[in-house]
Amino acid sequence: MAPPPPPSAPELLVGVDGGGTSLRVALVELGSTGLLRLGGRKGLQDWPGLAGFTPVPIARQRAEREAPRLDEAERLEGRARLETLASAIHEVCAGLPKARLRLGLALAGDKTEDGRGICVMTHGPRQPALLDELEQALRGRQ
């Protein structure tokens, strides 16, 4: 695995909008007016929806906000969504020069206390370690 680019490397900004059934990923560029705009590279992907996964009732999710108890089906769905997200980001960035990746994530759900995961999600799995796992998955793809 190659080391990450140095802090002085150019930056690549990618925006992610994850809804209940799908996610959109797009390269974000600085426009001529100084405002951000969507770049030419975009992707749309459906979430996997593994058999056997049913979202945990919201009341239980809220009760477990600090220490979620994920069952095997929720863990597997979370892992499948993580892989889908990492693949979609990788596809949008494929073939571009090496750069520091900056992500803007908009995902449905309530953030964990540290802001790096999702502890309550209506239509999906809770992913309390989402950003740590996503960083690992993306590093594995360089």
Q: How far is CA 72 from the centre of its chain?
A: 20
Coil/strand/helix, residue 103:
strand
pTM of the model: 0.84
pLDDT of res. 83: 94
Residues linked to residue 103 through DSSP beta bridges, in sequence order:
14
Share of the chain above pLDDT 90, in %: 54
Share of the chain above pLDDT 70, in %: 89
Per-residue model confidence as pLDDT tens digits over 5-32: 555 667 888 999 998 889 999 988 877 7
Question: CA-to-CA distance for 142 and 138, rounded, in angstroms?
Answer: 6
pLDDT of res. 35: 67
